[in-house]
Amino acid sequence: MNSKNRKIIIVDDIPLLSDFMKDVLEENGYKNVECFDDAYLASDAIKTKQDAFIICDYNLNCPAMTGIQLLDGIKGQNETIEAVIATSDVGSVENNFSKYPVLKKGPDFESQILYFLNRE
């Protein structure tokens, strides 16, 4: 779904990166973007959202869960949510967890996010 009104949730423990992603999305017409730097708060908020798109950092600074574990818990309650994992260490994530698309944080990160949101 490529609606500009779709709820987009960014989960990253580095607020500077979340804010960057939010700015990029808003500059491209997405107005319903929310950021979280805490996995538990994100999980609670996402449970109430239908048809959300989640961009989740793999290496969340949360001792109890990784980004994959957060997404697995959310998908277990709401199968309609789409999600991608964001990381700078794509190789180790892809080798171990292939159930979510993986976006590499780096120079073309912005275009990767927009690709996933705009695909039909």
Residue 27 has a pLDDT of 93
Residue 80 has a pLDDT of 80
Stated pTM of the model: 0.85
Task: Name every residue whose Cβ is closer than 8 Å to that of residue 26 and which is 6 or more positions away in sequence.
Answer: 33
3-class DSSP state of 106 = coil
Residue 33 has a pLDDT of 94
Q: Are 2 and 51 in contact (CB under 8 A)?
A: no
Cα distance between residue 35 and residue 53, in whole Å: 12
* pLDDT of 110 over the 90 cut: no
46-98 confidence digits (pLDDT tens): 877 777 888 988 877 777 777 888 888 888 887 888 888 888 776 655 555 56
Mean pLDDT, the chain, as a whole number? 82
Query: What domains lie within the chain, and their CATH numbers?
Result: 8-118 (3.40.50.2300)
Determine the residue type at 18: S
